[in-house]
Structure 1
Amino acid sequence: MSAQLMGGWTGGKIPAGQHCQLQGGKGGTPPMRVSGVPAGATWIVAQFNDKSYQPLSRNGGHGTIAFPVRGAVTDLPAVPGMTKTLPGGAQVMAAAKSTGAYASPGYLPPCSGGRNNRYSVDLKAVDKAGKVLAEIKDFTIGRY
């Protein structure tokens, strides 16, 4: 399985406006194309992390979103941050682990204040029983 960022995301600097509301942004998840999705997969589960900030650096620290599989090549659309209501059949599997003013019921967009933190995603293709069929670990989505 492999992934490619889309929609202006390059893995370098987080695109303008794609950071958290606390810092003036209206960020959403980066759109991605996942190829080589194994037969039998029903969901791509995306765990978003801030690798530079230990409390949110693993296991979906910035939220876990499940996207329905559409075939061996599946496009994961951008979904909004700071909400539990997602379009296109996407579902919040776990809210961000952030607290206080940073708390989010779903995905927390990059919110490091521009300190060049590295944001990544772990992608897992899972079947209807939740068994992981393939995964990509620590795929860099950008720095903010």
Structure 2
Amino acid sequence: MKLLCILTTIAFVNVSPIMTGEYANLVYTTNKYIREAFDNDPAGLETAISNIINEDKPFETLNLMLAIPEKTNIFRINHDEPFIMKLPADQEAVQAAISQFTTIPVPKFGPNENFEKDSLGQLGEERRLILGKVTTKLLTDAIENSTVNHNSFS
């Protein structure tokens, strides 16, 4: 069921946390890592994403880890809020999961690479393009291996 929720989230993302340049840089690095894993070890990436989905995490956390917020709104909010503080940790958790199931090292951030919160829309789009393929395959595999009759699903 979580897999279906993630697929729905990838299609209808509308989360509005505060974003920083540091967070955008982490999102960029994670995207780069996901792309390298997708190209070089797709089975390892599928296992990593499957494990993230099946962990006991709130849906909001899965949304931030896998779908990335599409829009960013700047609010006057205490930057020490737990929600804000865990945004970088969520990206690092995705990197750790991929690292656990692949032999691909986490990419290093280049000296001339720098992304700001304005880049998050594009970074989110890139993330969903890759992970949409992975989660669709995971969902298809789950349906095919299920004992429930799914004849009405295309």
TM-score by length of 1: 0.30
Higher relative contact order (CA 8 A, sep 6+): 2
The structure with the greater share of residues assigned to helix is: 2
The structure with the greater share of residues assigned to strand is: 1
Mark the structure with the bigger radius of gyration: 2
